[in-house]
C-alpha cells in the first residue's frame, strides 16, 4: 500500500494499487510491459502489475479463464478478437509494426530453386522453389499467419490447379487450391524454440519460418542459411502489428484500472521508442537473461505521437492496421462458417487516446 494518494485519470484519489494480471511473451516484442514494470510506470499510475511470461496461446487461454487480465499478443492468436459471440478479448492498442517472422532458406537444400532464394528473388522464383518443398514452422503462432500471407502473394493470379498449398491437420490452405501433391509444401509443425535443432538436423527441411531470437541466430550462419522473404521487404501491405488485449469480462467492471494501465503502457511504449537500449536492458532484467540475447531490430517501435496519429480518425492508419490483422485471420478454421466481427468492432481506442494525450502533455 502506498503512503501517499494516487490521482486517477478521473480525478479520484486512491490509496491502494489496483492489481492487473499481465500476460507477456518472453521476447522484446512485449518489452513495453517489461519497461512499465522495471521503470515503475504502472505503479506510478496506481497499478500493481502481476507479470506472467507465457506463450501467445497460453495468454489467450488466461484471458478466457480470468488468470490474465491484459496481455500482449502476436498475430498468431488474433483471430480471437473477431469471434462474433462471447468475444473473449478487446483490443486496446497495437504495439510494434513487426517484421519478426521471416522465411529462412536452407542453402544445403537440393530441392529445385531453393538454395538461391533471397529477399531479392522474384515471386516466380519463390513459387518454383516452394513447389513440392519442405518447411518447418510453428503454425499455431505468428509463423502460421506469415505463411498464409506469403502464399497469398505467391499464388496471386495463379489458377487453382497450380496453386502452392499445404495441409495443417485437417485444414488445407489455400482452401481454393485444387492442385496435386507436386504443388504441396510438406510441413513440419514444430515450436519456434525447436527450429534450430530441426534446421541443423540430418533431415533438415528446405525452408523454415521463424522469429527472434531463433531467426537471428540462424541467420548469423551465412554459409548455411539465408533470408528468403520478409514482411517489410516483400509484402509491406501485409504488416500485422502485435497488439495488447484486455479480457472483456475484466474490462466490464474495471474501466478505471484499464485506463491507469494504459497510461503506464503508453509511457512505456514512448520510452522504448526513444531509448531502445534502455528498453532492452529492462527486458533483460525482467526476463533474467543476458542483454546480448535481446533482439531489438525486428520492428518499428511507435511513439505516443505515432499512436495518437494512427487512431485519431476512424479511417486512419491505425484502423487500416487492424483491418490487415482481420484480413490475415479470415482463413482461420476457428472463424469458418461464421461472419467475423468488423475491424471497428474489436478495438476500443478511448483508453489509448486518453493515455496518449496524458503522455504527450507531460513531455
Q: How many CB atoms lie within 10 A of CB 318?
A: 25
Do 126 and 169 have their domain in common? Answer: yes
Task: Indicate if the pLDDT at residue 99 is higher than 90.
Answer: no
Identify the domain containing residue 254 by its residue range. 6-98+240-361
228 belongs to a structural domain:
yes
123 belongs to a structural domain:
yes
> Rounded mean pLDDT of 66-72?
98
pLDDT at 13: 43
Last residue of a domain, one of 179, 206, 238: 238
Model confidence at 1, pLDDT cuts 50, 70, 90, reads very low
281 belongs to a structural domain:
yes
186 belongs to a structural domain:
yes
261 belongs to a structural domain:
yes
Higher pLDDT, 287 or 293: 287
Residue 333, domain CATH: 3.40.190.10
Do 14 and 62 have their domain in common? Answer: yes
Do 13 and 78 have their domain in common? Answer: yes
Choose among 36, 229, 33, 1: nearest CA to 123.
229
- Measure CA 82 to chain center: 16
Share of the chain above pLDDT 70, in %: 96
pLDDT (tens digit per residue) in 247-285: 999 999 999 999 999 999 999 999 999 999 999 999 999
1 belongs to a structural domain:
no
Last residue of a domain, one of 195, 223, 238: 238
Strand partners, 134: 186
Cell numbers at residue 62, please? 488466461
Q: Is the peptide bond before 174 cis (omega within 30 degrees of 0)?
A: yes
Angle at which helices 304-311 and 317-329 cross, to 10°: 80
Model confidence at 6, pLDDT cuts 50, 70, 90, reads very low
pLDDT at 3: 34
pLDDT (tens digit per residue) in 302-319: 999 999 999 999 999 999
Do 20 and 41 have their domain in common? Answer: yes
- Cα→Cα distances 300→74, 98, 99, 355, Å: 14, 7, 8, 20
Q: How many CB atoms lie within 10 A of CB 288?
A: 6
Query: Residue 207: helix, strand or coil by DSSP?
Result: strand
Choose among 147, 146, 109: nearest CA to 225.
109
Q: How far apart are CA 289 and CA 84, in angstroms?
A: 40
Do 171 and 269 have their domain in common? Answer: no
Angle (nearest 5°) at CA 246 between 8 and 347: 95
Model confidence at 328, pLDDT cuts 50, 70, 90, reads confident
pLDDT at 5: 35
pLDDT (tens digit per residue) in 196-255: 999 999 999 999 999 988 998 999 999 999 999 999 889 888 888 999 999 999 999 999
DSSP string for 59-75:
HHHHHHHTS-SEEEE-G
Residue pair 118/233 in contact by the 8 Å Cβ criterion: no
Domain count of the fold of the chain: 2
Last residue of a domain, one of 196, 218, 238: 238
Strand partners, 186: 134
Do 143 and 209 have their domain in common? Answer: yes
pTM score of the predicted model: 0.75
Residues, the chain:
363
- Cα→Cα distances 4→7, 15, 46, 127, 256, Å: 10, 7, 11, 63, 19
Residue pair 129/114 in contact by the 8 Å Cβ criterion: yes
Residue pair 139/79 in contact by the 8 Å Cβ criterion: no
Do 226 and 201 have their domain in common? Answer: yes
Stretch among 128-132, 182-186, 298-302, 311-315 having the lowest mean pLDDT: 298-302
pLDDT at 9: 42
Angle at which helices 304-311 and 350-361 cross, to 10°: 140
Q: How far apart are CA 84 and CA 108, in angstroms?
A: 46
Do 84 and 172 have their domain in common? Answer: no
Task: Indicate if the pLDDT at residue 69 is higher than 70.
Answer: yes
Do 39 and 112 have their domain in common? Answer: no
Do 248 and 325 have their domain in common? Answer: yes
Mean pLDDT rounded to a whole number for the chain: 92
16 belongs to a structural domain:
yes
Q: How far apart are CA 87 and CA 84, in angstroms?
A: 6
355's CB contacts (< 8 A; 6+ apart) are: 259, 262, 263, 265, 266, 267, 304
> Rounded mean pLDDT of 161-188?
93
Query: Can you tell me which residue has the cell 540475447?
Result: 293
Do 220 and 114 have their domain in common? Answer: yes
> Which range, 73-77, 130-134, 137-141, 291-295, is most confident?
130-134
pLDDT (tens digit per residue) in 8-26: 344 334 458 999 999 999 9
Do 109 and 232 have their domain in common? Answer: yes
Q: How far apart are CA 81 and CA 60, in angstroms?
A: 10
How large is the C-alpha radius of gyration of the chain?
21
Amino acid at each position: 500500500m502506498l503512503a501517499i494518494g494516487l490521482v486517477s485519470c478521473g480525478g479520484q484519489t486512491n490509496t491502494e494499487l489496483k492489481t492487473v494480471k499481465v500476460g507477456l511473451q518472453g521476447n522484446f516484442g512485449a518489452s513495453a510491459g517489461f519497461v512499465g514494470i522495471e521503470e515503475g510506470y504502472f505503479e506510478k499510475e496506481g497499478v500493481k502489475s502481476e507479470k506472467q511470461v507465457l506463450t501467445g496461446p497460453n495468454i489467450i487461454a488466461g484471458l478466457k479463464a480470468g488468470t490474465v487480465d491484459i496481455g500482449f499478443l502476436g498475430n498468431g492468436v488474433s483471430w480471437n478478437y473477431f469471434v462474433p459471440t462471447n468475444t473473449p478479448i478487446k483490443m486496446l492498442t497495437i504495439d510494434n509494426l513487426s517484421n519478426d517472422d521471416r522465411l529462412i532458406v536452407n542453402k544445403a537444400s537440393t530441392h529445385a530453386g531453393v538454395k538461391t532464394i533471397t529477399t531479392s528473388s522474384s515471386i516466380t522464383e519463390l513459387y518454383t522453389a516452394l513447389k513440392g518443398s519442405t518447411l518447418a514452422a510453428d503454425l499455431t503462432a505468428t509463423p502460421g499467419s506469415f505463411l498464409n500471407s506469403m502464399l497469398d502473394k505467391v499464388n496471386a493470379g495463379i489458377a487453382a490447379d497450380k496453386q502452392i498449398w499445404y495441409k495443417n491437420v485437417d485444414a488445407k490452405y489455400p482452401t481454393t487450391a485444387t492442385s496435386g501433391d507436386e504443388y504441396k509444401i510438406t510441413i513440419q509443425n514444430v515450436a519456434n524454440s525447436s527450429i534450430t535443432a530441426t534446421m541443423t538436423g540430418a533431415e533438415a527441411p528446405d525452408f523454415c519460418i521463424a522469429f527472434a531470437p531463433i531467426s537471428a541466430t540462424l541467420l548469423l550462419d551465412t554459409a548455411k542459411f539465408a533470408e528468403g522473404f520478409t514482411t517489410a521487404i516483400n509484402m509491406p501491405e501485409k504488416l500485422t502489428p502485435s497488439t495488447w488485449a484486455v479480457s472483456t469480462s475484466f474490462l466490464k467492471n474495471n474501466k478505471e484500472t484499464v485506463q491507469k494501465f494504459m497510461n503506464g503502457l503508453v509511457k512505456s511504449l514512448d520510452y522504448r521508442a526513444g531509448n531502445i537500449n534502455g528498453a532492452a536492458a529492462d527486458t533483460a532484467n525482467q526476463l533474467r537473461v543476458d542483454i546480448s540475447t535481446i533482439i531489438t531490430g525486428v520492428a518499428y517501435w511507435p511513439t505516443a505521437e505515432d499512436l495518437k496519429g494512427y487512431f485519431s480518425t476512424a479511417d486512419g492508419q491505425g484502423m487500416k492496421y487492424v483491418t490487415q490483422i482481420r484480413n490475415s485471420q479470415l482463413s482461420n478454421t476457428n472463424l469458418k462458417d461464421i461472419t467475423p466481427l468488423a475491424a471497428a468492432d474489436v478495438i476500443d481506442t478511448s483508453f489509448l487516446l486518453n493515455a496518449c494525450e496524458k503522455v504527450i502533455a507531460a513531455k
